C-alpha cells in the first residue's frame, strides 16, 4: 500500500444553488413512481452492519446494495430508463407520469413514437442499463466503451441487443464520440450521465432517476429506526450519482443535512482536484486513468452536479485502488453476524475509504475533519455487484488489487 489516500476539505465559494431543485422531492417521487411501474421493480436491500460499525468505532453503518437492481447487478439502469422515458414523453406531448412501463412498451406508443437510436459511452453499467431499457422499449442503442473495458462487460451489453464496441480512447473521449454520432444520426439521441454547456436536460433526468435509490434508502433508514444519517459517503466519476444523492438528502433534511463525503478513484479525481484548487471552477483529469474502479474512471465533471457538490460536500477523497479492494473484501466477509454484501470495485470504494479512515492512524486528522465517532450513523451506496465476476474473484479470493 505505497499509495496514500488524498483529500481536500471544501472551502470553495458557494453559489446560488440553482441546480438543487433538480433533485427536489417531487421530481424524485415522479421517477420513483415510474420505476415502480416496471414488473422487475423491487426495493433493493439496505444492509445494516452492526458488528462492523462497532469494530470501526461508529454507531451505525448502512450499505445500500444495488447488486439486486432489475437483475442487472448495478444501479445505473435507474437513470437511463427514466431519461429515455422523459425524452419519449416530450416527443409525444405527454408528462412522464402518463407513461408507465405498460404504456411505454405498448404497440400503440411504438407506432406513435417510432424508433430512435440512443447513443452512450460507458465502462459497462450505464451502457448495460441503456441497452436493457432500449430493448424493452423497442428502441435502438449504440454503446461505446473506453480502452481497458473488460470483455465480460461488453458481452453483457451485447446480450441486451445493443451495438457495442471498445474504443482505443478514454471514457471522456468516448462521450464525445457518442455525442458526435448522435448528432449525425437521424433520430439519434445522446443519453449520457454527465452534463456540459448545452447538454443538461437529459443528464438532469438521469440524476432524478438515480434519486429512486436515495429515496428508498431514506425510507429504509426510518424502518431501522434511524431518522437521519449523520454522514453519507458516495462515490463519484463525473459526479452525477454523487450530485443526485447529495441533492436528494439536502432537500430531504433541509434544516440539518448530513455531512457529505465524496470518494473518487485517485487516478481520475477531478472533483477532488477542483476542491483543492478552491476557486469553485471545475478541473479536468485526462490520460488513461488506469484504475480497477472502472465506473469512476471519468475525468470531466458533470456541470450540474459540480454546482450541487461544491455547495454541500464537506470533504472530497481520492482513493487508490487498494482502498476499493479492501472494501470489497471486508463487505464480502464482514464480522460474523453481519450479512455479506457482494460489492464491485466502484461499489466498494466508499466503504473501503470509511474503513481506512476509522482504522488507520495516518488518517486521524481526516477522521476528525469529517466528524466521525461513536455517535455517527453512516450511509453508503454499493452501486454494483460482481459485474465482472472474474475480476471480482481475483480481488476478493486471490488477494490481487487489480
So which residues are the catalytic ones? Answer: 76, 123
Element containing residue 153 per DSSP (H, E): helix 151-158
Report CA 66 to chain centroid distance, whole Å: 10
SS3 73: coil
Neighbouring C-beta atoms of residue 286, cutoff 10 Å: 12
Is residue 116 within 8 Å of 167, Cβ to Cβ?
A: no
Report CA 371 to chain centroid distance, whole Å: 24
d(C-alpha 167, C-alpha 160), whole Å:
19
Q: Give me the half-sphere count of Cα atoms (radius 13 Å) on the Cβ side of residue 156.
A: 23
d(C-alpha 250, C-alpha 323), whole Å:
27
Residue 59, C-alpha cell as written in the block: 454507531
d(C-alpha 59, C-alpha 74), whole Å:
28
Residue found by looking up cell 430531504 in the block: 252
Alpha-helical segments (H) within 44-114: 50-56, 77-91, 101-104, 107-113
What distance, in Å, lies between the first and last C-alpha atoms of the chain? 13
Pair type for strands 140-145 and 163-166: parallel
324 to 6, 80, 106, 254, 395: CA distances (angstroms): 14, 25, 42, 31, 10
d(C-alpha 139, C-alpha 119), whole Å:
11
- Residue ranges of E strands in 281-322: 313-319
Pair type for strands 60-65 and 117-121: unpaired
Amino acid at each position: 500500500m505505497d499509495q496514500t489516500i488524498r483529500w481536500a476539505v471544501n472551502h470553495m465559494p458557494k453559489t446560488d444553488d440553482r441546480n438543487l431543485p433538480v433533485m427536489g422531492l417531487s421530481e424524485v417521487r415522479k421517477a420513483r413512481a415510474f420505476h415502480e411501474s416496471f414488473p422487475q421493480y423491487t426495493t433493493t436491500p439496505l444492509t445494516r452492519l452492526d458488528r462492523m460499525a462497532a469494530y470501526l468505532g461508529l454507531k451505525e453503518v448502512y450499505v445500500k446494495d444495488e447488486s439486486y437492481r432489475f437483475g442487472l447487478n448495478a444501479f445505473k439502469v435507474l437513470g437511463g430508463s427514466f431519461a429515455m422515458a422523459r425524452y419519449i414523453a416530450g416527443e409525444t406531448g405527454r408528462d412522464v407520469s402518463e407513461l408507465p412501463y405498460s404504456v411505454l412498451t405498448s404497440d400503440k406508443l411504438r407506432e406513435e413514437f417510432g424508433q430512435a437510436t440512443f447513443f452512450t459511452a460507458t465502462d459497462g453499467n450505464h451502457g448495460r442499463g441503456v441497452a436493457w431499457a432500449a430493448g424493452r422499449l423497442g428502441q435502438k442503442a449504440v454503446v461505446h466503451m473506453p480502452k481497458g473495458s473488460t470483455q465480460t462487460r461488453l458481452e453483457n451489453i451485447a446480450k441486451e441487443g445493443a451495438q457495442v464496441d471498445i474504443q482505443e480512447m478514454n471514457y471522456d473521449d468516448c462521450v464525445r464520440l457518442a455525442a458526435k454520432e448522435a448528432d449525425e444520426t437521424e433520430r439519434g439521441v445522446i443519453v449520457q450521465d454527465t452534463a456540459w454547456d448545452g447538454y443538461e436536460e437529459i443528464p438532469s433526468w438521469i440524476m432524478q432517476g438515480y434519486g429512486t435509490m436515495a429515496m428508498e434508502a431514506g425510507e429504509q433508514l426510518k424502518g431501522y429506526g434511524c431518522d437521519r444519517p449523520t454522514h453519507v459517503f458516495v462515490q463519484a466519476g463525473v459526479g452525477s450519482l454523487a450530485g443526485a444523492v447529495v441533492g436528494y438528502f439536502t432537500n430531504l433534511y433541509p434544516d440539518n443535512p448530513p455531512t457529505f463525503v465524496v470518494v473518487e478513484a485517485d487516478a481520475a479525481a477531478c472533483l477532488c482536484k477542483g476542491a483543492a484548487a478552491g476557486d469553485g471552477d471545475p478541473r479536468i483529469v485526462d490520460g488513461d486513468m488506469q484504475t480497477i474502479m472502472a465506473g469512476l474512471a471519468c475525468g470531466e465533471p458533470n456541470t450540474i452536479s459540480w454546482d450541487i457538490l461544491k455547495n454541500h460536500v464537506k470533504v472530497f477523497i481520492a482513493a487508490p485502488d487498494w482502498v476499493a479492494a479492501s472494501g470489497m473484501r471486508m463487505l464480502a466477509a464482514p464480522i460474523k453476524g453481519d450479512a455479506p454484501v457482494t460489492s464491485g470495485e466502484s461499489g466498494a470504494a466508499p466503504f473501503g475509504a470509511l474503513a481506512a479512515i476509522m482504522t488507520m492512524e495516518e488518517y486521524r486528522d481526516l477522521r476528525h475533519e469529517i466528524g466521525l465517532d461513536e455517535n455517527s450513523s453512516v450511509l453508503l451506496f454499493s452501486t454494483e455487484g460482481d459485474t465482472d465476476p472474474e475480476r471480482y474473484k481475483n480481488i476478493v479470493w486471490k488477494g490481487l488489487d487489480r
